[in-house]
Amino acid sequence: MKKLLLTTLLIFGTAIVHGQDKMQFSIIGGYEHFKKENPHNQTAGYGLGCEFKYYFYNRLYALANFHAGIYNEFTPRTAMAEVGEVDFSMHWRTREYKGGAGMGIDLLKTQRHNIYTQATFGLAKLKQSVPVIHSYRPTVEMGTKNT
């Protein structure tokens, strides 16, 4: 399943574009790794989105976009050991949905490439699963003797 998903999202950072002179539609997908977000958490996942641009003039445009992502987050026990005596790690999954609208401008437009800047505003919805805790300490049941 992972190979199929990776093959499908091999577009990593590229966009499939179809449009006319005034309209442009893009589909964007890829693998995302958030290394600097939190130095203790290991966060990575897959994202898929689409973007619609409508050009008012040669370079000025309005845009609407949607993004969906699934991310796995893992906090190792060494990161939590700084807090005190902790001997477990946590793993959870986050689903993210974002929609937005805004304006943009093409700074440099060549035949095959664009350099642009854009600003969007919108709403985001995060759905996080219940963390799964992996314990590294042997458990002792109540009412039993430790020998």
Q: What is the pLDDT of residues 45-86, one digit of tens each?
A: 888 999 999 998 888 999 999 999 988 887 766 555 555 555
Asked whether residue 13 carries a pLDDT value surpassing 60, the answer given is no
**Which pLDDT belongs to residue 98?**
93
pLDDT at 89: 72
Judged by average pLDDT, the poorest of 83-92, 98-107, 124-133 is 83-92
Cβ partners under 8 Å of residue 132, min gap 6: 90, 91, 92
Q: Is the pTM of this model over 0.75?
A: no
What is the radius of gyration, based on Cα positions, of the chain? 22
pLDDT of 23 strictly over 60: yes
Cα 51 to Cα 144: distance, rounded to the nearest angstrom: 61
Residue type, 21: D
Cβ atoms of 23 and 55 closer than 8 Å: yes
Per-residue confidence (pLDDT) for residue 122, from 0 to 100: 93
Closest CA to 25 of 7, 51, 61, 47: 51
